[in-house]
Amino acid sequence: MVRNYLSAFIGITILTAPLVSNSAVLFEGYSKVNSGDTHIGYVINRYEFDDKKKQFISTYFVKTGKGPTETTESLKAVADSELAPISYEYTSLAGKETKTIDAKFKAGNMSALVSINGKSQKIDKKIPKGTFLSTFLVYLMLKSKEGLRSETKYEFQAIAEEDASISKGQALVGKEQSYNDFKVFKILNTFKDAKFLSYVNERGEVIATNALGTGISTELVSSAAEATNGQSYSTTLLKTLFGGVPTGNQNVVAQGKKAKPANLPTTTINAPVTAPSPATQPETEPGQ
């Protein structure tokens, strides 16, 4: 349950390519993962834009649990300047179960090699126009014609990186509010029959999330030490995945200041996210 939720919210992959030197980091941070009141793990996220290649890059690493319950995930996803998918590599380890997905996109088609416990399967499928990798949802909302606005509804179709499936989803943006003294939009997300709340500032930085009905939540924190809470991590693995051990300082929580509008490429996105429509907000939203 924890692993499925974290995959939807934001995936141990060993990559040989170094960090692209032309990339501008849009966001980098450490989040702690809680189950109820218990701190069970951490997430490391980075979003960047390679100005030379005109590509968005999403990288994350997740670790939860200890011993036989330990699970890890990583993701390296690449999209073009309009956030159309180019490729992604996903890996998960849960106990003795291993899973890897290596997917590439070309001319509206996806070709993916899925390996589970050493058994491989190839997936080839047509990708409907406007479909994107779910990890880039917030940036699609930011780059849509109307941008990220309160009391709007975004309907979309996205690829779930953890299983290469395509699902329809919806993001219902509530009014701007305060969360830990930061101004955020409260967004009710529905994707793959799961619902979760995310608290996102005007730059698209996810301050916190709450998976409704599961007790699993995440919270962006100011340091790696606070997120990891003594849990071990491999510096070699992080250097391979991220090009170095992330500092986690490229976000408003670590910097301790109010957000400024994000400097995203100016290309307007028309296809991936439908034009926002006024959202009907319930009198009492779940998870408050």
**CB-count exposure of residue 176 (10 Å: 0-12, 13-18, 19+):** middle
Residues 183 and 259: beta-carbon distance below 8 Å: yes
- Tell me: the pLDDT tens digits for 40-85? 999 999 999 999 999 999 999 999 998 888 999 999 999 999 999 9
**More confident position, 12 or 113:** 113
Cα gap 101→121, rounded to integer Å: 10
Query: What element of type H or E holds 71?
Result: strand 71-80
Res 36: pLDDT: 96
Res 265: pLDDT: 54
* Residue 22: DSSP 8-state: T
Query: What element of type H or E holds 32?
Result: strand 23-35
Residue type, 106: K
Q: Which ranges constitute the DSSP H helices of the chain?
A: 2-9, 137-143, 224-228, 235-242, 252-255
Please say if the pLDDT value at position 277 is more than 70: no
Please give the C-alpha separations between residue 170 and each of 86, 137, 179, 196, 279, in angstroms, as whole numbers: 23, 10, 22, 11, 11
Residue type, 91: T
Please say if the pLDDT value at position 238 is more than 90: yes
**More confident position, 147 or 227:** 227
Mean pLDDT of the chain: 85
Which residue, among 230, 175, 195, has the nearest Cα to 63 in the 3D structure? 230
The pLDDT of 161-173, averaged and rounded, is 97
- Tell me: the pLDDT tens digits for 195-223? 999 999 999 999 999 999 999 999 999 99
The pLDDT of 93-114, averaged and rounded, is 96
Decide the pairing of beta strands 152-160 and 132-133. parallel
Residues 207 and 201: beta-carbon distance below 8 Å: yes
The pLDDT of 19-34, averaged and rounded, is 82
- Tell me: the pLDDT tens digits for 114-123? 999 999 999 9
